[in-house]
């Protein structure tokens, strides 16, 4: 049986609020609480999936040449010496030229 090495959970509401305001500007507290409550944790789409799908907390449109920082509201707990790597889905890269600014997002275990 495979050992589970990572566990996703929501960040605190305060941390989410700070990240959300930084990206989208001030939002009513009640609306922001609704968005926070609806955050979806990453999951594998199928048993054969290479990785986890992350979801945006709100619908958004990224225009050609535009850079958007998306506050996912997610943190990960993982074993020491492990790393989480973030890649855009290959179909999105080819179809829409969607890419991460730093090529691969790296989240260290500490």
Task: Answer whether residue 89 shows pLDDT above 80.
Answer: no
Task: Answer whether residue 33 shows pLDDT above 90.
Answer: yes
Residues belonging to the chain: 110
Residues 6+ positions from 72 with CB-CB distance below 8 Å:
39, 54, 55, 56, 57
* Sequence spans of domains, the chain: 6-108
Residues 6+ positions from 20 with CB-CB distance below 8 Å:
27, 32, 35, 57, 71, 73
**Topology of domain 6-108, per CATH?**
Deoxyuridine 5'-Triphosphate Nucleotidohydrolase; Chain A (2.70.40)
Q: What is the model's pTM?
A: 0.79
């Amino acid at each position: 049986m495979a050992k589970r090495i990572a566990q996703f959970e929501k960040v605190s509401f305060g941390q989410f609020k700070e990240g959300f305001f930084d990206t989208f500007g001030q939002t009513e507290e009640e609306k922001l609480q609704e968005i926070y409550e609806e955050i979806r944790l990453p999951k594998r789409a199928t048993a054969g999936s290479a990785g986890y799908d992350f979801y945006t907390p709100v619908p958004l449109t990224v225009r050609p040449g535009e850079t958007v920082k998306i506050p996912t509201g997610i943190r990960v707990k993982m074993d020491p010496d492990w790393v989480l790597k973030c890649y855009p889905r290959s179909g999105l890269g080819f179809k829409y030229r969607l890419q991460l600014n730093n090529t691969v997002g790296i989240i260290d275990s500490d």
